[in-house]
Homo-oligomer: A and B are copies of this chain.
Amino acid sequence: MPIHYYLNILHRYRTYSVIASVIKNANVGELTEIKGWVKNLRVYKEVVFADISDGSCAKKLQIVIPKHLKADNLTYGSSVHIIGKLSKSPRGQLELTAEDVNVLGQCVVLDGYPFNPRTTHPPEYIRQYLHLRSRTNYISAVLRIRHAVTKHIHDFFTSNSYLYIHTPVLTSNDCEGAGEVFKVIPDNKATIKAMRQQDKCDDDVYFGTKTFLTVSGQLHLEAMCRGLGNVYTLGPTFRAENSRSRLHLSEFYMLEAELAFCDCLEELQKFIEDLLKYVFIETRNSNEDDLYLLDKEKKPPLWLDKNFVTLSYDEARNILKKKGLNTSEDGINKEQELALVDHCNGVPVFIVRWPKEQKSFYMKESQVDNTKVEALDLLAPITGEIVGGSLREDDYNKLKSKLPSEALNWYLELRKFGNIPTAGFGLGLERLLQVLCNVPNIKDTLPFPRWPHNCDM
């Protein structure tokens, strides 16, 4: 049954229209009913002009309210129900001439409403009011874009026959071995008491094992990939780092994919490049007004019609050295990442084939140079690293010798029965949004940011 059948059903009981459709259809002369919030008021002698938003799009609908309707408690921020007729203003703008105005909920700014009309509040200020900030133009535009980006990502993967897997949040693995994880225990002491076992510490009795919040769904995806083929996940991921930078969160969304039968880094790179270009192009089509609201210059990123650059880790180091920036044993730092993007004229750049000791145990040893692994980082403007990926070690014995813990024997066993080569990557959704929307601080790319000392609501 086609979806518009259902839309028709819905229209039978939802009498009002969302403003996005009213503006899109522009049915001049039609009796129209809308509900939303007052974003702006201009009071004249005979008439009041009100700009109304219902959150469905960046644009506001202008309402012409004749004085006799006496909408006295109509103030900035109040919610309204308006019935009227659509027309075009002398300047060609779509407007609704009200025949009935009903204030649903008043808004008295003096009672403590933190936002003011015709004021652009700085993001740090708005961030103090997480529960109200979806009412601001800036945050609502970012969240509509976040919705669209998520949808385009799912479309890209579904069209390429990838299966969406809900990898678990709770895990007994500590995949990266970094130690910066959150542990999870029941809050209720009675539950713990009822489940207590002699040989277990109280923290571990619920699951019978120490349990963490996931830092990556990759190992789980690899298990799924060996039965279902191409798979991906997009879900919450956690780091218990004490970092308050503009690029870090304690809870963030990560897109991870595992490419079945992929045994070459170039194929992985091509896939990542196609994905990013697809999402950028589709979002510029679907959310033009929102992107304009965030960035009036609305320049498409200059790399959209260029090929991404590829540099080996050694080449990247030499470039940095010539610029007087020496890399340490730990790899390439944020300043150096951004210098490399700059060196490539702002075009994203893959850094490939990394020293083994800088990367994770599961990465495939290079056939050409056994001090290197077949890994990549993708560096982008604004954020630096945005994607990390690799071919996975598919040699049972090599993997066994590098396995950090016996608890991962299940992961080793994936190589024992009907094994296949695979490659995969992880991409931070919030960093992608920073690049796409030109948002300096990652905390403004999601509805409820969590970072050290901040877990409001």
Contacts and interface: CB of A to CB of B under 8 A. Distances in A.
B251 A170 contact: yes
A418 B240 contact: no
A143 interface: yes
Interface in A155-188: 155-156, 158-161, 163-173, 179-188
Contact of A417 (B105, B140, B166, B185): B105
Interface string A30-58: 00000111100000000000000011100
Contact of A113 (B160, B186, B417): B417
Nearest to A172: B455
Tell me the number of copies of this protein. 2
A449 to B, nearest CB: 8
B410 A457 contact: yes
Interface string A419-457: 111000000000000000000000000111010111111
Interface stretch (A117-125, A129-137, A306-314, A379-387): A129-137
Interface string A197-236: 0000000001111011100000110011011111000011
Interface stretch (A266-274, A321-329, A345-353): A266-274
A311 B9 CA distance: 22
A418 B77 contact: yes
B187 A240 contact: yes
Contacts of A206: 240, 242, 250, 452-453
SS class, residues of chain A in contact with chain B:
mixed
Given A183-B185, A267-B13, A447-B220, A455 B211 contact: yes
Interface stretch (A144-152, A336-344, A370-378): A144-152
A416 interface: yes
Interface string A250-276: 110100000011000011001100100
A405 to B, nearest CB: 12
Contact of A418 (B1, B20, B78, B446): B78
A167 B129 CA distance: 16
Contacts of A179: 187-188
Given A55-B227, A140-B228, 10 more contacts: A16-B261, A38-B418, A131-B223, A143-B228, A166-B447, A170-B238, A170-B455, A184-B184, A191-B242, A207-B454
